[in-house]
């Protein structure tokens, strides 16, 4: 069954024009949602914790800032744009005590609702507008008159207007200009985790590192290995992004295409796919979520060690040196915290 996609004509802006929105957090997504809503004429406040370093930034952008609890109490729609690992605590301390029947509790990623970490009362609408791109793109495309495609999902519909309010919100941040895809909290959460673990981050980085190590261990210069296994990834990904795999194949040489078609399946094998299915199973069963929550509660010992090992990999040293010779690369760099959007 093809997915439903909503555009501007499906959104009724009146459903947000009469409401006040609190954006909790002023990070990657928070600043983009808050500023886009404001420029769309929506009554928006930013909720931050006492002493937040973002307060001055949000105020100098012309936004009203309140403490988290006060912002929740003052708003009809509460969009939670805090780090996923912090959301439960903030919900327990500052959000839950200030909710009232008929308000909307909104998210940009389904983790805490889907895995039952946050359990809102039944008289609250719970929905998601998840932009499929980092915050700076949500902001920039809006300023340019466009938007970033979003996902919409409803977990609780106490008012029987949750989907329509969500679409009005999506329109106000620019999402319906690009298309808003109908999904569920379960599908968004599980596919998002799967994508980042298996393909976008986990899979890709291991592919790069193993390719680099193979060349260097065979005696090739680290600089050559870096260009072939990391730098050029972007050129290929851009071609795939713009025109699909066929267009990428059209642009590369026949030699490269023949190598792709015959050698690719020897690198990523049926064993790899079997492992992908296992990883998906761990996501679906909640095992991954349980592990990640416990890791955070224990002070992140494994995460910190693995992060340091990744930083210390030789490809990072040679890469830093080479990129210093290509200043145009870092000039275009923006903080991209979550490539897949969640």
Which residues, other chains included, contact 201 with Cβ-Cβ below 8 Å and sequence gap of 6+? 339, 340
Which of 19, 35, 38, 84 binds ligand NAD (CB under 6 A)? It is: 84
Query: What ranges in 252-286 are assigned the alpha helix state H?
Result: 254-267, 270-285
Is residue 29 at the binding interface for ligand NAD, with CB under 6 A as the rule? yes
Which of 68, 192, 225, 288 binds Mg ion (CB under 5 A)? It is: 192
* Other CB atoms within 10 A of residue 288 CB: 19
Is residue 288 at the binding interface for ligand NAD, with CB under 6 A as the rule? no
Per-position x/- string for 88-107, each x denoting binding to ligand NAD as judged by CB under 6 A, each - no binding: --x-----------------
Is residue 173 at the binding interface for ligand NAD, with CB under 6 A as the rule? no
Query: Least Å distance between CB 71 and ligand NAD?
Result: 11
CA–CA dist 260, 47 (Å, integer)? 50
69 or 341: CB nearest Mg ion: 341
Per-position x/- string for 280-319, each x denoting binding to Mg ion as judged by CB under 5 A, each - no binding: ----------------------------------------
The full DSSP string for 300-342 is -HHHHHHHHHHHHSHHHHHHHHHHHT-HHHHHT----S-TT--
Which of 34, 35, 40, 134 binds ligand NAD (CB under 6 A)? It is: 134
256: three-class secondary structure by DSSP: helix
297: three-class secondary structure by DSSP: helix
Beta strands in the chain (DSSP E): 5-6, 20-24, 43-48, 64-67, 77-80, 104-107, 125-131, 150-156, 180-182
- Written as six digits, the tokens of 84 are 């996923």
201 or 252: CB nearest ligand NAD: 201
Task: Report whether 330 contacts 323 (CB < 8 A).
Answer: yes
- Written as six digits, the tokens of 284 are 């679906």
Is residue 340 at the binding interface for Mg ion, with CB under 5 A as the rule? yes
CA–CA dist 155, 184 (Å, integer)? 7
Per-position x/- string for 36-65, each x denoting binding to ligand NAD as judged by CB under 6 A, each - no binding: -------------x----x-----------
CA–CA dist 165, 217 (Å, integer)? 57
86 or 223: CB nearest ligand NAD: 86
Q: Which range touches Mg ion (CB under 5 A), out of 58-66, 188-196, 280-288, 326-334?
A: 188-196
Strands laid side by side in the 5-6 sheet: 5-6, 180-182, 150-156, 125-131, 104-107, 77-80, 20-24, 43-48, 64-67
Burial class (CB in 10 A: 0-12, 13-18, 19+), 28: buried
Query: Least Å distance between CB 221 and ligand NAD?
Result: 35
- Catalytic site positions: 109
Residue nearest to Mg ion (CB): 340
Is residue 175 at the binding interface for ligand NAD, with CB under 6 A as the rule? no
Which of 21, 22, 26, 194 binds ligand NAD (CB under 6 A)? It is: 26
Query: Least Å distance between CB 107 and Mg ion?
Result: 13
Is residue 135 at the binding interface for ligand NAD, with CB under 6 A as the rule? yes
Which of 30, 110, 134, 341 binds Mg ion (CB under 5 A)? It is: 341
Is residue 189 at the binding interface for Mg ion, with CB under 5 A as the rule? no
Is residue 109 at the binding interface for ligand NAD, with CB under 6 A as the rule? yes
44: three-class secondary structure by DSSP: strand
Strand partners for 154: 127
Is residue 68 at the binding interface for Mg ion, with CB under 5 A as the rule? no
Residue corresponding to tokens 């080479």: 322
- Which residues here bind ligand NAD, judged by CB under 6 A? 25-30, 49, 54, 81-84, 86, 90, 108-109, 130-131, 134-135, 337-338, 341-342
């Amino acid at each position: 069954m093809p997915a439903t996609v909503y555009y501007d004509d499906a959104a009724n802006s009146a459903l947000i024009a009469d409401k006040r929105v609190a954006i909790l957090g002023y990070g990657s997504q928070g600043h983009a949602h808050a500023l886009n809503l404001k420029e769309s004429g929506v009554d928006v406040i930013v909720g931050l914790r006492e002493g937040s370093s973002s307060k001055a930034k949000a105020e100098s952008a012309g936004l009203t800032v309140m403490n988290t609890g006060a912002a929740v109490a003052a708003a009809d729609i509460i969009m939670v744009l805090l780090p996923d690992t912090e959301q439960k605590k903030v919900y327990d301390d500052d959000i839950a005590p200030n909710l009232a029947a008929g308000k909307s509790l909104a998210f940009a990623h389904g983790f805490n609702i889907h895995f039952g970490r946050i359990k809102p009362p039944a008289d609250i609408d719970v929905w998601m507008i998840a932009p499929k791109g980092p915050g700076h793109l949500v902001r920039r495309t809006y300023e340019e008159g466009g938007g970033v495609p979003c996902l919409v999902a409803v977990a609780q519909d106490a008012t029987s207007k949750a989907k329509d309010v969500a679409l009005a919100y999506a329109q106000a941040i620019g999402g319906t200009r690009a298309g808003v895809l109908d999904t569920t909290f379960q599908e968004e959460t599980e596919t998002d985790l799967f994508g980042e673990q298996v393909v976008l981050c986990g899979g890709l980085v291991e592919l790069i590192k193993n390719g680099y190590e193979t060349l260097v261990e065979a005696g090739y210069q680290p600089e050559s290995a870096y260009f072939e296994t990391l730098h050029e990834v972007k050129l290929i990904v851009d071609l795939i992004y713009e025109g699909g795999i066929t267009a990428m194949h059209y642009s590369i040489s026949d030699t490269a295409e023949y190598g792709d078609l015959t050698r690719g399946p020897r690198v990523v094998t049926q064993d790899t796919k079997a492992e992908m299915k296992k990883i998906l199973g761990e996501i679906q069963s909640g095992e991954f979520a349980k592990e990640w929550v416990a890791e955070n509660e224990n002070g992140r010992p494994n995460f910190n060690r693995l992060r340091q090992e990744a930083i210390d990999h030789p490809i990072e040293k040679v890469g830093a040196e080479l990129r210093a010779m290509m200043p145009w690369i870092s000039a275009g760099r923006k903080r991209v915290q979550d490539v897949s959007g969640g």
